[in-house]
Amino acid sequence: MSTGSAAGGAGRGATDGARKYILGVDLGGTNIVVGAMSADGAEQYAMHSTPTRAELGADGVVARIVDMLEKSIAETQAKTGATRSDFLGVGIGSPGPLDREKGLVIVTPNLGWRDFPLRDRVGNGVKLPATLDNDANCATLGEWWIGAAKGAQHVVGITIGTGIGGGLILNGRLYHGANDVAGEVGHATIDSTGRRCGCGNYGCLEAYASGPAIAERAREALAGGEPSKMPQMVGGDLSRITAATVYAAAKEDDELANHVVRETARFLGTGIANLLNIFNPEVVVLAGGVTQAGDQLFEPLRAEVRRRAFKPAVDICRIVPGALHGNAGVVGAIATFAQHHGIA
Amino acid sequence: MSTGSAAGGAGRGATDGARKYILGVDLGGTNIVVGAMSADGAEQYAMHSTPTRAELGADGVVARIVDMLEKSIAETQAKTGATRSDFLGVGIGSPGPLDREKGLVIVTPNLGWRDFPLRDRVGNGVKLPATLDNDANCATLGEWWIGAAKGAQHVVGITIGTGIGGGLILNGRLYHGANDVAGEVGHATIDSTGRRCGCGNYGCLEAYASGPAIAERAREALAGGEPSKMPQMVGGDLSRITAATVYAAAKEDDELANHVVRETARFLGTGIANLLNIFNPEVVVLAGGVTQAGDQLFEPLRAEVRRRAFKPAVDICRIVPGALHGNAGVVGAIATFAQHHGIA
C-alpha cells in the first residue's frame, strides 16, 4: 500500500478551499484497506492496510474501520489543510451479497455477518454520508476511474482470488441488474457437465480458474507422476500447493506448472470470449494473483479469445491486467461514492 | 399478421390532429413485415407480410419495401385521418452485422448484400428519417415496448430459429456494446470442448439449441434405433426432419421427441442461467419456433435455470415466451425509432 500522492502538499492551505475529498473502505476477510482521494480522482492520500480481525465480530471490525477513517482524515488534513467539512463522505466496498439500498451486508461467509447495517454503522461512526457496494464492483470501477480501463464506456472487470468475482460498467456506469446479482462472471458455465462449483452449479469458470481451482488442477497433474519442482517447493506436502506455487514454478519454466497456467488461460479465455460476444466491452481488466503469471497467462488467454469470439468484438477489446493492484478496491469504493453522488 | 387495432377509427379526423405515427420494417431472408403504429405504442395499423424475393437484389428489395411503406401510410391515413406530416419516420430491423451509425448492412449471407446503405435508401424512398438496428435487438425491444417484457428495466431477449440471436435491454434501453456486437447470446460457449458452431467457436448454445441443431440431435437420437413416430412423419427421409417435426411429435407424446425437447430445455437452461448470473434480468423472453413446444420446453428449462443460477437472480426473473410472435420484429423496429428519437 502506498501513501498516495507525494505531491499532497501542493494544494495545502487557503488556496485549496474549494477542493473536496472522499474516503474509502475496502473490507476483506483478511485485510481492510482505507484511504482518501480528492473528489476528482486526481490525488490519493493516506492509503493504509490493516488486518480485519474478523474474530472481533461486526462491532469490533466497525470500530477498527472508523478508527482508520479518522486517521485517514487527520493525515489528509495534515497534507492538504482540508477542513472536516471538505470530506464529502465514505464509499464502502464489501463482500456480498448486499442490499445496496438499505446498506446491509446480507451474508458474508468469511466474516460470519448476517443482515448487518454496515453502511450506516460506518457512516454514523464518522458522521458522514456513506454508500455500500460489492467489492468486485468497486475494484472494476476503480480501474475504470483512474486505472487500466480509464476512459472506456463498457468494461468487464474480473477479480481472481479464492473465488472469481466480476463487475460490469455499461455506458460509463456500474451495472447492478435487477437485484444486485449482476456481474457474477465467475459463475457462468463453460462446461455444462463439468466440475461442481461451490455455488452448486456445474462447470462454472470459478471451478477451473480460481486460486484454489488452479492449485487443485496442479495437484491432479502431479498425480500423473510427471517431474516438477512443485513438490519440492512445498516440502513434499502437496496440500500446501497454492496458485502462487504454480506461478512461481512457471516463472522457473517448470513444464507442469506451465501446462497448468496454459490451461488456466484456456479456461479464462473461454469465459472471456463469452463475455465479448454477449457484452462487447472495450476493456476486460483482470485482477488478482493470477495476473502475476504475466505474459505466460495473457498471451495464450488472448489467443483463446481470438479463437472463440466474434472478430469485431475481439478487435475492439483490450484484455489487460489491472493497474491499481491492492488499491483497486478502495479507489473503486471512493469512485462508487462519487458516482452515486453524481461527481464521477 | 393482423392489421392491428380494430379501434383504428376511434381517433379519426380532426380530433386526432396531434397524434403521431411511426412506420416499421422487419427485413428477413424470407419475408418482409411492414406496418405502422401510433408513436405512443398504443395502436397498430396496416401490419402486412410479403415475401422478400431476395433474388431481385438490393434495389429490387428496397423498391418492395418502399412500396409496402407507401401502402401502410395510405392505409393508416384512411383509418385515422392522419396527414403525411404526422408520420415521424421509419424504424428498420435487418439481419446483421450492421453499422448502425452509418445505416449500413455490412453483410447478410441470406440476402447476399455487402455494405449496403439500407437506412438511407429506404428513408429517401419515403422521404422520412430512418433508423437501422439488428433484427434480434428489434424483436427484444418490441417485447419490451408492448409485449411480454413490458415495464421491465432489464431484459434478455432470445430468438431461436436457424440461429440463436439475442438482444439486451439494460436500464430500459437497448444495449449495443462497444461496436454493436453485444447480445450474441447464441454464441456463448456452454461446453468448451463441445460441438463446432457455424461461427467457428466450439460448444456455443446455438450449436445445441437452434432449429437445425435440434433437428440434428433428433436424427442422432434416431440412429440409436429407438422407436419414434418421427421417421414416419417425414416419409422415412430423415433429412426432412426439422425442429417443427420434433415439436409436433413431442405434442403426440413421442418419447424420443420428448427426450430431444428436454435436452433442448437443458441446453437453453444452462445458457440462460449464465445470463441470469451475469446480467440479472427481470425478464428473459424467448421467441421463435421452439416456443411452440410450450410447457414441455419451459418447465424443464426453468428447472435447469433454478438448478444452476443464483437464487436471488432466479427469484426475480420471469422466463416467458414472447407475446408478439411474428410482429415482434416490426413493432421493435418502430420502437427503436421511437427510442432513438427520445419518444419511447
Residues B246 and B274 in one domain: yes
Q: What is the pLDDT of residues A64-119, one digit of tens each?
A: 999 999 999 999 999 999 999 999 999 999 998 899 999 999 988 778 899 999 99
Together in a domain, B178 and B316? yes
A128 and A266 inside one domain: no
In the block, which residue shows the cell 407475446?
B323
Q: How confident is the model at residue A1 (pLDDT cuts 50, 70, 90)?
A: very low
- The residue assigned the cell 478496491 is A329
Residues A137, A156: one domain? no
- Are residue A166 and residue A126 in the same domain, yes or no? no
Total count of residues recorded for chain A: 344
Task: With respect to residue B3, please indicate whether it lies within any of the assigned structural domains.
Answer: no
Asked if residue A157 lies in contact with residue A166, where contact means CB atoms within 8 angstroms, the answer is yes
Query: Residue A280 and residue B178: Cβ atoms within 8 Å?
Result: yes
Same structural domain, B318 and B335: no
Phi and psi for B21 in degrees, rounded to 5?
Answer: -130, 150
- Give the residues of chain B that fall short of pLDDT 50: 1-16
Has residue A317 got a pLDDT over 90? yes
Residues B91 and B162 in one domain: no
Q: Which of A106, A193, A263, A280 to mutate to test the interface with B (most CBs of B within 10 A)?
A: A280
**Residue A100 sits in the same domain as residue A212:** no
What is the per-residue pLDDT across A35-50, written as a single tens digit (0 to 9) for each? Answer: 999 999 999 999 999 9
Identify the DSSP state of B12: -
The beta-carbon neighbor of B316 closest among A178, A281, A312 is A178
Beta carbons of A181 and B153 less than 8 Å apart: no
B58 vs A3 pLDDT, higher one = B58
Q: For residue A13, tell me if it sits in a domain.
A: yes
How many domains is chain A built from?
Answer: 2
- The ipTM (two decimal places) reads 0.90
Residue A293's pLDDT band (boundaries 50, 70, 90)? confident
Long-range contacts of B253-256 (CB under 8 A, 24+ apart): B254/B228, B254/B229, B254/B230, B255/B226, B255/B227, B255/B228, B256/B218, B256/B221, B256/B222, B256/B226, B256/B227, B256/B228, B256/B230
Show residues of chain A in contact with B279, CB under 8 Å.
Answer: 177, 182
- Closest Cα in chain B, distance from residue A9 (Å): 40
pLDDT tens readout for residues A225-248: 889 999 999 999 999 999 999 999
Specify if B178 maps to a domain: yes
Residue-level pLDDT at A114: 92
Alpha carbons B152 and B237: distance in angstroms, whole number: 45
The chain-wide mean pLDDT, for chain A, equals: 92
Would residue A1 count as lying in a domain?
Answer: no
* Amino acid residing at A168: L
Tell me, what's the pLDDT at B17? 53
Q: In sequence order, what are the residues at sequence separation of 6 or more whose Cβ sits closer than 8 angstroms to the Cβ of residue A126?
A: A23, A66, A69, A70, A73, A90
Could you tell me if residue A308 is inside a domain?
Answer: yes
Q: Which of A192, A205, A263 to mutate to test the interface with B (most CBs of B within 10 A)?
A: A192
Co-location of B102 and B196 in the same domain: no
Specify the pLDDT at position B7.
Answer: 39
The answer to the question of residue A3 being in a domain is no
pLDDT(A191) > 50: yes
Mean pLDDT (whole number) for A162-189: 94
Q: CA of A267: which chain B residue's CA is closest? A: B192
**Given this model, what pLDDT does residue A292 score?**
84
**pTM attached to this predicted model:** 0.91
Nearest chain A alpha carbon to B313: A181
Residues of B in contact with A272 (CB under 8 A): none
Of chain A, the percentage scoring pLDDT greater than 70 comes to 95
B168 shares a domain with B132: no
The CATH number of the domain holding residue A208 is 3.30.420.40
Residue B1 lies in a domain: no
Query: Is residue B12, in this structure, part of any structural domain at all?
Result: yes
pLDDT of residue B136: 95
Residues B138 and B155 reside in one and the same domain: no
Residues B230, B184 contacting (CB under 8 angstroms): no
Q: Which domain holds residue B53?
A: 8-143+327-340
Q: Determine the pLDDT at residue A4.
A: 39
**Quick one: pLDDT at residue B290?**
85
Compute CA A136 distance to the chain's CA centroid, rounded to the nearest angstrom.
5
**pLDDT of A17 above 80:** no
Nearest-CA distance A93 → chain B (Å): 19
My answer on whether B137 and B216 are in the same domain is no
